[in-house]
Amino acid sequence: MAGADPHWPTEVGGPDRPAGSRTIDELLARVRSRIERVEPAVAWGRLTAGALLVDTRPAEQRDRDGEVPGAVVIDRNVLEWRLDPASPDRLPEVTGYDLEILVLCNEGYSSSLVADTLRTLGLVRTVDVIGGFVAWTAAGLPTTGDRASEAAA
């Protein structure tokens, strides 16, 4: 392939791949077999019923695309400490292991990994929002601060 990086393996399963390693697609499939995933409309219903919606998107995406009303924004690099019920650094909203948590990223990939991690911490009612914020907005669900829409107006 023209312009390909000669230092990047061309074959994922080639001799340089460590035994037992997985591709990200394999990892996602494994993780998703262990977690519950819900459509955005279901997540909205659960949010309005009292579940905690955690938005892990970076500030740049939230500034550009908007936010979900009622979501708690947690940077990915501190997420486990803010949501672990046993952590002294947990958020006040984290009242115990029975808390229902909905994880939202931009397109529903990293949120799957986060949901699995939180379930490992004992937050067994954690779910992943399928398609992330992109699917949320496509479903016409509420958002705030959508600068793309404001610019078009």
pLDDT in tens, 111-127: 999 999 999 999 999 99
Q: What is the pLDDT of residue 84?
A: 98
Q: What is the mean pLDDT of residues 90-106?
A: 97
Residue-range domains of the chain with CATH: 36-147 (3.40.250.10)
pLDDT in tens, 28-83: 999 999 999 999 999 999 999 999 999 999 999 999 999 999 999 999 999 999 99
Rounded Cα distance, 49 and 107, in Å: 24
Closest CA to 73 of 145, 125, 151, 138: 145
Q: What is the pLDDT of residue 145?
A: 72
Q: Express the helix, strand and coil content of the chain in percent, nearest 5 each.
A: 35, 10, 50
Longest dimension (CA), the chain: 55
Tell me the whole-structure pTM to 2 decimals. 0.84
Helix axes 110-120, 24-32, angle to 10 degrees: 50
Residues 142, 68 contacting (CB under 8 angstroms): yes
Averaged pLDDT of the chain = 89
- Starting at the edge strand that comes first in sequence, how are the strands of the sheet with 126-129 ordered? 36-38, 126-129, 101-104, 52-55, 72-73
Indicate if the pLDDT at residue 6 is higher than 60.
Answer: no
Indicate if the pLDDT at residue 146 is higher than 90.
Answer: no
Rounded Cα distance, 56 and 43, in Å: 15
Q: What is the pLDDT of residue 2?
A: 47
